[in-house]
Copies of this chain bind each other. A is one copy, B any other.
Amino acid sequence: MDIESLDTPAVVIDLDRVDANLAAAQRYADEHGLALRPHVKTHKLPWIAHRQVALGAVGITAQKIGEAAVMVAAGIEDVLLSYPLVGETKLEPLARLARATPRLAVALDNDVSLDLVGRAASEAERTIDVLIEFESGRLRTGVVAPDEALPLAQAIDAHAHLRLRGFMTYPLGAGAGDWVREARSVLERQGLEAPVFSGGGTPGMWHAHEMPGLTELRPGTYAYHDRATVAAGAGRLDDCALHVHVTVVSTPERGRAVIDAGSKTLTSDTVAASVGAGYGLVLEHPEAVITALSEEHGVLDVSACERPPRVGDRVRIVPNHVCPVSNLVDGVTVHRGGSLHGVWPVAARGTTR
């Protein structure tokens, strides 16, 4: 069986490209003295997480307890949970994770989360490292003013099972360096140290060393790349390691073709108009635009194609945003140079808690 005889839609990973992407990022981090802590949300595969660590990553980043727990169960020993944990339902799972993980850190931006993390650490009788999340341009989680870090830092410092480690942000806005400098000076006046400054994702990763004071980089998408990270200049189209193999199932009229991948495979994630039109890039027909998705239908405008695809043709799609594509499938088909290595369970898919 070869790739061309896989049932479609199929999410297919080129391990040679993954290896090259991982190595390039680690080389960059090493050159610039940055700790690399890749986010596993992109691949959700223990194999890639171990590869990242073997190449030199200090550990991994995970977004939710469930995602982290899968990686710890697969042998990963150093995890940053980069999402504020809130709610009594998180107490027991976090305590269990703290017991199971040799080095666990969490990020948070409020005292409700801090109280929970402190109780989980006490219950587990383990030390949990804490990073204070701050706002740097995304306008989602993260304290806004450097002053706000102080009461959190003091409470962390006062807790027997918590250890203040530093600051975390996503993505890594231009003012992030100044923010950390200010927050550190506020903390230092109270005798508190916060050595870690963790930031960034894939889009700006090759410029991370230009950020004053940054100590740690947390890209995720770079393992696979996608239409958005290529448009951001973080990778080339040939670095894209995840393709969705699809079949043309209908060409009802001139200029229109339908593929067997819709929002259940490609997701409804869009990209900025400057990146490109539609719900993904069709490698064999770059002039085609995926104009609309139903759950299982992808509708293509192929009117600009000199040789439009025909019913039964197989084509490959580079998704707009690759991370949620991984999350949609139970398994990905992996290969090297077209030689199949198997269908690997996406072990950490579906872990929203």
- Encoded as 1 (CB less than 8 Å from any B CB) or 0, chain A from 281 to 315 comes to 00000000000101111010000000000011010
Residues on B with C-beta less than 8 A from A258 are 84, 140-141
A261 touches B294 (CB 8 A): no
B324 touches A264 (CB 8 A): yes
B312 touches A7 (CB 8 A): no
Interface SS majority for chain A: loop
Cα–Cα, bound, A109→B7 (Å): 20
- The tally of residues in A whose CB lies under 8 Å from a CB in B reads 65
Residues on B with C-beta less than 8 A from A250 are 84, 86, 109-110, 113, 140-142
Cα–Cα, bound, A329→B350 (Å): 6
Residues on B with C-beta less than 8 A from A247 are 86-87
Q: Is A182 close to B, CB under 8 A?
A: no
Cα–Cα, bound, A7→B94 (Å): 12
Closest chain-B Cβ to A22's Cβ sits at a distance in Å of: 21
Residues 140-188 of A contacting B (Cβ, < 8 Å): 140-144
Closest chain-B Cβ to A352's Cβ sits at a distance in Å of: 5
Given A9-B352, A252-B144, are A268 and B270 neighbors across the interface (CB < 8 Å)?
yes
Instruction: From A87, A258, A314, A350, name the one whose CB has the most chain B CB atoms within 10 angstroms.
Output: A87
Q: Is A353 close to B, CB under 8 A?
A: yes
Closest chain-B Cβ to A149's Cβ sits at a distance in Å of: 12
Q: Is A227 close to B, CB under 8 A?
A: no
Cα–Cα, bound, A15→B25 (Å): 50
Q: Is A328 close to B, CB under 8 A?
A: yes
A140 touches B295 (CB 8 A): no
B86 touches A252 (CB 8 A): no
Residues on B with C-beta less than 8 A from A314 are 87
- Encoded as 1 (CB less than 8 Å from any B CB) or 0, chain A from 250 to 274 comes to 1111001010110111011110000
Q: Is A83 close to B, CB under 8 A?
A: yes
Q: Is A327 close to B, CB under 8 A?
A: yes
Given A141-B258, A299-B140, are A248 and B350 neighbors across the interface (CB < 8 Å)?
no
B139 touches A256 (CB 8 A): yes
Cα–Cα, bound, A143→B251 (Å): 9
Closest chain-B Cβ to A115's Cβ sits at a distance in Å of: 10
Q: Is A90 close to B, CB under 8 A?
A: yes
Footprint of B on A, CB under 8 Å?
5-9, 41, 63-64, 83-90, 93, 109-110, 112-113, 135, 138-144, 247-253, 256, 258, 260-261, 263-265, 267-270, 292, 294-297, 299, 311-312, 314, 323-324, 327-330, 350, 352-353
26 contacts between A and B (CB under 8 A): A6-B89, A7-B87, A7-B89, A7-B90, A7-B93, A84-B250, A85-B249, A86-B248, A87-B249, A87-B260, A87-B314, A109-B250, A110-B311, A112-B311, A138-B294, A139-B292, A140-B297, A141-B249, A141-B250, A263-B269, A264-B324, A264-B327, A264-B352, A268-B268, A268-B324, A295-B323
Please list the 9 inter-chain residue pairs (A to B) with the smallest Cβ-Cβ separation, ordered nearest first. Answer: A7-B89, A268-B268, A86-B249, A141-B250, A112-B311, A87-B247, A84-B249, A140-B297, A63-B296
What 9 additional pairs, Cβ within 8 angstroms, besides A138-B294, A260-B352?
A: A5-B89, A9-B353, A63-B295, A63-B296, A140-B252, A140-B294, A142-B252, A263-B269, A268-B270
